[in-house]
Chain A
C-alpha cells in the first residue's frame, strides 16, 4: 500500500473523524434535551 498509503489513510481517518464529530454532536444534543426535560 506504500504508493497510495497517504491517500488511503487520509481517506479513512478524515471520514471517521467526520462521522465521530457528527456522533458527538448528536449525543450532546440528546444529553442537553434530557437535562432540560428533567429540570
Chain B
C-alpha cells in the first residue's frame, strides 16, 4: 500500500498524469459549466419565497463547498507530508492555497450579494459568515507564511503545521448553522435523505458543483506541473523534456 503511495507520489509520474488528465478534465468542466449556467439562469423555475434571487445559489454554494474542500485537502496533504515526507503532498498543499482563497473570496462576495436583497444587509457578524471570513484569513496566512520563509523545507513544514491547526475552523463553518441561531440558512445539499430542493433546481446545482471541482483540478494540474518543473529542474527526466 505504502509502495503505491510513494509510486504515485513520484514527481515524474505526477507530472505525466497531470498532463494526460488535463484536457479531459477541462472538457468535462466546460460542458458542466455551460449546463450549470444555462440551467441555473434560465431553466430552473424561480423559488417560491426568494424568487429569482435564489439563482445565486448556483455560484455561492459550489464556491463555499470548494473553499472548505480545498482547505481539507491542504490539511490531508500537510499531514501526509509531515509523516511520510512525500514531496507531491507538499506541492498539492502549496499549489491549492491560492485557488482555495479565490473560491473563499467568491463565496463571501456572492454571499454579500445574496444577503442584501434577502436579509437587507451586505454583511452581518453571523457565525457562518464570520467563520468563513476566518477561513480566508487562514488561506492568506498560509500563503504569506510560505512566501515569508526562504528555505523551502522550513517553509513547507511551518505552513503544514499552520494548515493542520487551522483545520479546526472547517467543522465550525459546517456546523455553525446548527450550533448557533444564525441568519444563514441550513444545509441544502447535505440532506440527501430528505432533499430540500426540487430536482429541476438540483441538477444545475450539481452540474455547477462538478464544474467548480473540475476547474480546481484543471488549475491544480497546471500548477503541479509548473511546480515540479521548478523543483526538479536538475533531474535528468526534466532536462530530457
Contacts and interface: CB of A to CB of B under 8 A. Distances in A.
B43 to A, nearest CB: 13
Contacts of A21: 102
Contacts of B238: 37
Interface residues of A, number: 24
Decide if the interface of chain A is mainly helix, strand, loop or mixed.
helix
A11 B59 contact: yes
A4 to B, nearest CB: 4
A8 B229 contact: no
- Interface size classification for chain B: 20 to 34
Interface string B191-232: 000000000000000000000000100010011011001100
A29 B241 contact: no
Interface of B: 37, 41, 46, 51-53, 55-56, 59-60, 63, 98-99, 102, 105-106, 109-110, 113-114, 116-117, 215, 219, 222-223, 225-226, 229-230, 233, 238, 241
Top 5 A-B pairs, shortest CB-CB distance: A1-B52, A4-B53, A33-B226, A11-B56, A15-B59
